[in-house]
């Protein structure tokens, strides 16, 4: 049996990256506190990705994937209104910290999706899956 390897030329269409920070409305839900809607920012857009036959390893594929993700972030704090059991007033405020993307860029996608981590009482970070299957922090 003779196996012939035929090299084929494949042209990949390169699409310009359209990754940018955009305004969004984010609802902070923390324990039994009232949900709070806040104006926020998120990274959204399209980035380059492809899967093509490998020229170095026959039968394999070269894969490249980039996702629109936060490049730089800053932390902001906000107050949420929570029940105050046994207190002088029917409610109390809790301060929560959230991350906000300052800038966004196309970066290599992670191999596994990021999971929602349990938040500590004074630090809330919610993650959201975007249209291009990336995960972003939804901050204030």
**Whole-number mean pLDDT of the chain?**
77
What local confidence, expressed as pLDDT, does residue 111 receive?
Answer: 59
Give the Å distances, CA to CA, from 48 to 20, 43, 123: 14, 15, 33
Q: Half-sphere exposure of 126 toward its Cβ, with a 13 Å CA cutoff?
A: 16
Distance CA 54, CA 56 (A): 5
Question: Each residue of 80-108: pLDDT tens digit?
Answer: 999 998 888 899 999 999 999 999 999 99
Give the Å distances, CA to CA, from 11 to 8, 14, 51, 52, 53: 10, 9, 12, 10, 11
Does position 8 have pLDDT exceeding 50, yes or no? no
Distance CA 114, CA 129 (A): 9
What local confidence, expressed as pLDDT, does residue 86 receive?
Answer: 84
Does position 64 have pLDDT exceeding 50, yes or no? yes
pTM of the model: 0.59
Does position 6 have pLDDT exceeding 80, yes or no? no
Give the Å distances, CA to CA, from 24 to 36, 38, 51, 98, 109: 14, 9, 32, 14, 22
Does position 128 have pLDDT exceeding 50, yes or no? no
What local confidence, expressed as pLDDT, does residue 74 receive?
Answer: 96
| Cβ–Cβ < 8 Å for 101, 137 | yes
pLDDT grade for 131, boundaries at 50, 70 and 90: low
- Is 18-108 CATH 3.40.190.10? no
- When mean pLDDT is compared across 43-47, 96-100, 111-115, the lowest value belongs to 111-115
In the numeric block, the tokens 């981590």 are attached to 117
Q: What is the DSSP letter of 90?
A: S
Domain extent listing, the chain: 18-108
């Amino acid at each position: 049996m003779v196996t012939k390897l035929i090299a084929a030329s494949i042209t990949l269409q390169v699409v310009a990256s359209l990754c940018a920070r955009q305004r969004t409305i984010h609802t902070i839900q923390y324990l039994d506190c009232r949900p709070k809607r806040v104006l926020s920012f998120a990274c959204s857009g399209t980035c380059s990705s492809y899967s093509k036959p490998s020229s170095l390893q026959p039968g394999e594929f070269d894969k490249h994937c980039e996702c629109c993700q936060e490049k730089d972030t800053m932390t902001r704090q906000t107050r949420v209104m929570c029940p105050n059991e046994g207190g002088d007033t029917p409610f109390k405020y809790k301060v929560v910290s959230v991350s906000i993307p300052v800038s966004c860029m196309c970066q290599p996608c992670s191999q596994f999706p990021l999971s929602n981590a349990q938040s500590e009482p004074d630090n809330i970070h919610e993650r959201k899956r975007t249209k291009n299957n990336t995960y972003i922090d939804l901050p204030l």
